[in-house]
A and B are shown apart, each in its own frame.
Chain A
Amino acid sequence: GDSVTQMEGPVTLSEEAFLTINCTYTATGYPSLFWYVQYPGEGLQLLLKATKADDKGSNKGFEATYRKETTSFHLEKGSVQVSDSAVYFCALSDAAETSGSRLTFGEGTQLTVNP
């Protein structure tokens, strides 16, 4: 079945540092890929998405590129802020009429940014 693997966390950075969170996936078809973010005590929010190979999703300074050849969707940000401290989830969707857009999640990566 489909699966998503994220780099082990937690990750601790200083403000303005460069961020990379690795994500690789296994899927039989051509899934859509997502990054969700969860701030403390809240539900998940969509951060960015890519629906086909070589697509780049971007939002709030974060970027990720759908790499079919390496089955990866790594999250990057050039300069993190304290407000970026959260848990980040990589996910894939095998959308179909009969199943909705079911998501398979990675384990999540806790990011802490210190001032």
Chain B
Amino acid sequence: NAGVTQTPKFQVLKTGQSMTLQCAQDMNHNSMYWYRQDPGMGLRLIYYSASEGTTDKGEVPNGYNVSRLNKREFSLRLESAAPSQTSVYFCASSHVWLEQYFGPGTRLTVT
């Protein structure tokens, strides 16, 4: 039981490049989430998927897209990376009414 896994762990991009962050969970959770963590700002919700087949914007969705590929997998895509997207990205999952479980994070630097 691996919980929530994320790939890659680290990534460096140049401005304008694109990439996809991958997330998978093996806990049969219905809901999945993407957050970004910046110093002094806690975690902010980018997108979430309450259940398979649905996705919704969170607090800071601009510049990102998501895909809920199946119940296990939820990916986050940056189409044209900007330096403001330098951050640590966390994926999480949960049953609807219960606490979230977090992955180890992806540290992204955009130069």
In the complex, the answer to whether B31 meets A101 with C-beta atoms within 8 Å is: yes
Interface residues of B, count at CB 8 A: 31
Please indicate the chain A residues that have their CB under 8 angstroms from the CB of B41 in the complex. Answer: 107
Q: Complex: how many Å from CA A100 to CA B97?
A: 7
**Which among A34, A42, A43, A96 is the interface contact of B99 at CB below 8 angstroms?**
A34
Q: A89-B43, A107-B41 are in contact. Are A99 and B50 (CB under 8 A)?
A: yes
Chain A: minimal CB distance from B59 (Å): 9
CB distance from B58 to the nearest CB of A (A): 7
Which chain B positions have C-beta within 8 A of A105? 42-44
Query: Interface with B: A11-19, A44-52, A61-69, A72-80, which one?
Result: A44-52
Chain A residues, Cβ within 8 Å of B49 = 100
A residues near B44, Cβ cutoff 8 Å? 105
A-B contacts, CB under 8 A, total:
67
Of B42, B50, B102, the residue contacting A98 (CB under 8 A) is B50
**Contact residues in B for A108 (Cβ distance below 8 Å):** 40, 42
B45 at the interface (CB under 8 A from A): yes
Contact present for A89 and B96 (CB under 8 Å):
no
Is B100 interfacial (CB-CB < 8 Å)? yes
Bound-complex Cα distance A43 to B104 (A): 4
Report the separation of the CA atoms of residues A99 and B43 in the bound assembly, to the nearest whole angstrom: 17
A44-B90, A89-B42 known; A99-B56 Cβ under 8 A: yes
A15 to chain B, nearest CB (A): 27
The CA of A18 and the CA of B75, in the complex, are separated in Å by 42
Indicate whether B86 reaches chain A with its CB closer than 8 angstroms.
Answer: no
Q: List residues of chain A with CB within 8 A of the CB of B100.
A: 46, 101, 103
How many angstroms between the C-alpha atoms of A4 and B44 in the bound complex?
12
Q: Check A103 against B31 for contact (C-beta < 8 Å).
A: no
* A97 near B104: Cβ-Cβ < 8 Å: no
Instruction: List 14 extra interface pairs beyond A95-B97, A98-B50, A100-B30, CB under 8 A.
Output: A43-B4, A43-B90, A43-B102, A46-B99, A89-B42, A100-B94, A101-B31, A101-B100, A102-B45, A102-B48, A103-B43, A103-B100, A105-B44, A108-B42
